Amino acid sequence: MKIKTGDNVKVITGKDRGKTGKVLQVFVATHKVVVEGVNITVKNTRARKQGEKGQKIEYPAPLDISNVMLIDPQTNQPTRVGYRRSEPGSKVKKVRIAKKSQAVIE
């Protein structure tokens, strides 16, 4: 998966197009992500005990990963994600890079 928990992403399609937020959760098996403040869904709960009231709970629902793009850390613009080998040294490590600016994404 090219998008990980904690990344800043921008929604590119759907009802929340243009909104940005932080990735809270990634579901690898279903290719979905939960983004903070995006795709808010309301769940109504019933009163369980005598005298308790029902509630409306708002929570961010998962989006398909194809509907979001990673935000480039240097230019603050949406960008595609690529991979590159890290600097030659004792351990060769694969790092994520932003395609627009070639900046390494931490």
* Residues 16 and 36 sit within 8 Å (Cβ to Cβ): no
Residue 70 has pLDDT above 80, yes or no: yes
- What pLDDT is stored for residue 88 in this prediction? 67
CB 58 within 8 A of CB 45: no
What is the rounded distance in angstroms from the CA atom of residue 103 to the CA atom of residue 94?
A: 14
Asked whether residue 40 carries a pLDDT value surpassing 80, the answer given is: yes
Numbered ranges of CATH 2.30.30.30 in the chain: 1-71
* Separation of alpha carbons 59 and 78, rounded Å: 25
pLDDT mean across residues, the chain: 92
pTM summary value: 0.82
Q: What is the pLDDT of residues 47-66, one digit of tens each?
A: 999 999 999 999 999 999 99
In CATH terms, the fold of domain 1-71 is: SH3 type barrels. (2.30.30)
Question: What is the average per-residue pLDDT within 15-27?
Answer: 96
Q: At 15, is the pLDDT very low, low, confident or very high (cuts 50, 70, 90)?
A: very high
